[in-house]
Amino acid sequence: MKAATEAVEKLAAEVARLEEERDTAEAEAKRAAEGLEELTARKAALASGPLSDERGGAEELASLVKAIDEEVAALSRTRTVAEDAAQQLDRLVLEAKVRHREAQKRLAKRRYEALREERYYLDGEAEEAMARLVETLERLESLYAEQVNAAGAADNPYIAYQDPSETTENWLARRLRRWLPNGSLESYDAPLAELDHLARQPDPEEEPKPEG
């Protein structure tokens, strides 16, 4: 369980890291695209600016245009690299998310099996508690029989005239109403751990399943 939990946490961290790297690459591509738009506008402004009409301005204009073209080429390469990186990272993010989801499902399955085993032990506790309750109820029945005999011997049978079984039945029904089934009860004679379909008896000889 610990190894499965750590695997989920590790993959979650990997997804977060890849998403951050992708976002960084996308932001860099966006900045490069904005820079290219600005350079294109500057180049257009130079072409229609005063240098194009001045004597001797052609050489200076050509020099400025060349510098802008070099910046454009550099920013174009930067944008291409950033866009490629963003696409690659986006693919890696999707793959990591798939692995993360699969790891989550494996962890949930292990957790479910552990909860089944926990139910098995709790079912055993319920069985023990029920055995103690049944023993106490049987003692109450025996005590009532003794009370009837004692009352008869005292020539006062009326003091024990009321059979407490109905009271006991109603008392049990009131307190256990959430769990009392409808219909026949014969199918519930088996121990609770055997009846509980959500419980599983741990196999002491079962080899631990790999956590990976």
> Model confidence over 55-106: pLDDT tens digits?
555 676 677 778 888 888 999 999 999 999 999 999 999 999 999 999 999 9
Alpha-carbon distances, residue 47 vs 34, 42, 192 (angstroms): 20, 9, 90
At 101 the three-state DSSP class reads: helix
Q: What is the pLDDT of residues 16-40, one digit of tens each?
A: 999 999 999 999 999 999 999 988 8
- Residue 143 has, within 13 A of its CA and on its CB side, a CA count of 8
- Sign of the C-alpha dihedral, residues 181, 187, 188, 192? negative
* Per-residue pLDDT tens over the stretch 130-149: 999 999 999 988 988 888 88
